[in-house]
Structure 1
Amino acid sequence: MAMTLRLTPDQDRALILLAEAQGSSKHEAAVRAIMAAANRLLNDAAVAELARDIIPGQAALEARIRQARP
């Protein structure tokens, strides 16, 4: 599926630098960045779930941290 990605000049420069570092196109660099972010998010959620199940008091501590955040 096609979509248009609108970037600020700073975001575009960051994407150019990322693509150059990877030796890829800007499109491929953006796709890789999206996949990496999704994987980190899912992995972090899995680790948090395991911690809640394994570490006593982890769920309560996590709840207190969430309440303390603005």
Structure 2
Amino acid sequence: MTLRLDDAETSALRRRADLEERSMQEIARAAIREYIEHHSRADLIDGVLDRELPRFAEALDRLGR
């Protein structure tokens, strides 16, 4: 895989890597892992809510009054 960044993104990534004393690749890979974990959790929560909220719609409506 090739990741193409514009000049500003490359510069920001390089500064971050220098600050953390890590490689640009390490920083990018960590960012990708965090993105996937965050979105995987959000997708799981959304799925549960889509399935379960209808079961409790009436109770939630009553509580909201």
Alignment partners' CA distance in 1, 2:13 and 2:40:
23
Number of residue-to-residue matches in the alignment: 55
Identity %: 25
Query: Is the alpha carbon distance of 1:51 and 1:36 closer, same or farther for their aligned partners in structure 2, counting shifts above 3 Å?
Result: same
Tell me the residue number matched to 1:67.
none
Structure with more of its chain in helix, by fraction: 2
How far 1:21 moved relative to its partner? 4.6
Which consecutive unaligned segments of at least 5 residues does structure 1 have? 58-70
CA RMSD of aligned residues (A): 2.0
TM value normalised by structure 2: 0.67
Q: Superposition pairs for residues 1-70 of structure 1, below 5 Å?
A: 3-56=1-54
Deviating above 4 A after TM superposition, structure 1's stretches of 4 or more consecutive aligned residues are none
How far 1:50 moved relative to its partner? 1.0
Work out which of the two has the higher radius of gyration on C-alpha atoms and give 1 or 2: 2
Structure with the bigger RCO (C-alpha within 8 Å, sep 6+) is: 2
Which consecutive unaligned segments of at least 5 residues does structure 2 have? 56-65
